[in-house]
Amino acid sequence: MPSSQDPYDVLGVARDASPDEVRKAYLKLAHKYHPDKTGGDKTAEEKLKEINAAYDILKNPEKRAQFDRFGATDGQGFGGFGQGGFGQGGGQGFEAPFEDFFDMLFGQGGSRQRPGGARPGNDLELRLRITLEEAYKGTKKKIRFSRAENCAECHGTGAAPGSRPETCPQCHGTGQVRVAHGFFSVTRTCPGCAGAGRIVSKPCRHCNGRGQRKANRELSVDVPSGVDSGSRLRVGGEGEAGPNNGPRGDLYIHIEVEPHPLFTRDGVNILCELPVTVTQAALGATLRIPTLNGEAELKIPAGTQSGKQLRLRGLGMPDLRGYRQGDQVVKIAVETPVKLSRKQKELLRQLESESDSRSYPLRKQFQETTRKGR
């Protein structure tokens, strides 16, 4: 689904539609564009894919919230996953809703098994710590993790080389059996093969008949600029291998941005506190200060008070979609000098004796208010 497409538009529901309304709208459209109705019409097929992709987002509270926030869900809006097989799972996004669709249509909840026991692999979740500078610029990170891979010896079948898994005689390969239950018959997972649909009589000794082994995987991940702690990147098709050669799960990377010694983040803005001397604050100064994009000049106007916030436009974080850039907000902290020499003290006393109330309007106002209050 192109990221420009709005799932709310596709399903024709309001932004605040309830999960039930979303589901009803989806079912109505899915019926309308189902291949049985349209006779395999290509445009209808495309339309159905859009409908499925839209429902995939809106039925999942997490994805829906993410779309509402960023206008895209993981992996779609970021668009940075071009290399190393990233984004190959694009087609997989359609499978889950399709199954949902059939489950709902035929009322067979839990019938996710395909003949032959192929099942989608598990999703994996990883945590990735990055620095604020990396979050600012975007970065490429090598990650290593362990995941289930199909056993190379038996090609994921679990059967010893030279033998083959046999179709389970109890369920004839469907993985499910019907059990009479009064007037009804109920579908249950087949006890003969535990739902796999196949029985391995001579197990592969490399994987003990499981068909899978753990293996290390190294990936280079593009972390888009603007990510924050709590951002989640989806790398399609990099999760665990699916049992019996089912499709791979997805990999989810949870971003954690390390605290920075100078900067804190407030949405797209970067905050920092800048200590200045009494003289700099009083006379004004132009200072070079650190930003996430190297040094920048900050003009401090004469007569700047402590707590004053000055703004360096465009030197904050980019937002995830690249539409705008925040500011760096510099909070001035006038530092009272300490450990003064005799001479410095003398100069300060001179300064004090030269000053009158015009130089201290705040103090003057305070004193006047106090007097009136008496």
Interface residue list for Zn ion (CB under 5 A): 151, 153-154, 168, 170-171, 190, 192-193, 204, 206-207
User: Per the structure block, which two tokens stand in for 118?
Assistant: 């192929």
The burial of 162, by beta-carbon neighbours within 10 Å (0-12 exposed, 13-18 middle, 19 or more buried), is given as exposed
Distance (Å, rounded) from C-alpha 43 to C-alpha 40? 9
Distance (Å, rounded) from C-alpha 138 to C-alpha 145? 21
CA angle 26, 30, 35 (to 5 degrees): 170
Q: By C-alpha distance, which of 41, 23, 24, 21 is closest to 33?
A: 41
Considering the complex, state which of residue 79 and residue 203 has its C-beta at the smaller distance from Zn ion. Answer: 203
Q: How far is the CB of 240 from Zn ion (least distance, A)?
A: 15
Residue 203 main-chain phi, psi, to 5 deg: -70, 145
Longest dimension (CA), the chain: 104
Q: How far is the CB of 165 from Zn ion (least distance, A)?
A: 11
Q: How far is the CB of 154 from Zn ion (least distance, A)?
A: 3
Considering the complex, state which of residue 236 and residue 242 has its C-beta at the smaller distance from Zn ion. Answer: 242
Distance (Å, rounded) from C-alpha 137 to C-alpha 291? 12
Q: How far is the CB of 84 from Zn ion (least distance, A)?
A: 26
Considering the complex, state which of residue 190 and residue 227 has its C-beta at the smaller distance from Zn ion. Answer: 190
Considering the complex, state which of residue 153 and residue 256 has its C-beta at the smaller distance from Zn ion. Answer: 153
Q: How far is the CB of 192 from Zn ion (least distance, A)?
A: 4
Considering the complex, state which of residue 214 and residue 299 has its C-beta at the smaller distance from Zn ion. Answer: 214
Distance (Å, rounded) from C-alpha 56 to C-alpha 50? 10
Q: How far is the CB of 182 from Zn ion (least distance, A)?
A: 24
Relative to beta strand 269-277, strand 328-335 is parallel
* Helix extents (H) in 33-92: 35-38, 42-58, 61-70
Considering the complex, state which of residue 185 and residue 355 has its C-beta at the smaller distance from Zn ion. Answer: 185
